[in-house]
Amino acid sequence: MAIQPIRLFGDPVLRTRAVEVVDFDRELRRLVEDLTETMRDAPGAGLAAPQIGVGLRVFTWFVDGEVGHLVNPVLDLSEETQDGPEGCLSLPDVVYDCRRALRAVAKGFDQHGEPIVVEGSELLARALQHETDHLDGIIFLDRLDTENRKAAMKQIRESDWFGAERPTVRISPHATGGLGL
């Protein structure tokens, strides 16, 4: 297990749709361990593989004392919504109210390829949606209303971390079938 650097807003991997996991092997289990350790160290409520530069459909979460992971998630969302503060480890100190479904049912697989279903409401539902968005190249800023999106972009442009270093494309330490960044 190793804590990995978290990619920041502006890195192209965050805007690229991740590919389905097809091999449930030792490398995938290592990726889940790295995601979990990196998320807990940050600390965060969730972390998707693209946030550490791996273009695979995998994420972890830590909500209400529960740590979990999901591979190749598919979401069913409630029509009832919630508004609440949302942030992202790839956008340090950027927090804005974001509308999400109040409840979510996520279907996918664990790191061994066994099917799992995760049901959550409020914060867990928000985390499941946020991390699945990352796997589709969507950042929570995309879900903000126009006024808040403009304010967030201004805050990002004025931050110390934005543009401090140019994103570099690195080879992933995890097997991605040649598709990872």
Residues forming the active site = 131
In angstroms, the CA 107 to CA 48 distance is 16
Reduce the DSSP state of residue 40 to 3 states and report it. helix
Q: CB of 106 within 8 A of CB of 128? A: yes
The two structure tokens encoding residue 68: 């979990």
**Continuous segment of H or E residues that includes residue 147:** helix 146-158
Q: CB of 60 within 8 A of CB of 104? A: no
Cα diameter, the chain = 45
In angstroms, the CA 17 to CA 131 distance is 12
Q: CB of 55 within 8 A of CB of 170? A: no
Strand order in the sheet with 58-63: 46-48, 58-63, 66-77, 103-109, 115-121
Phi, psi (degrees; rounded to nearest 5) at 12: -60, -25
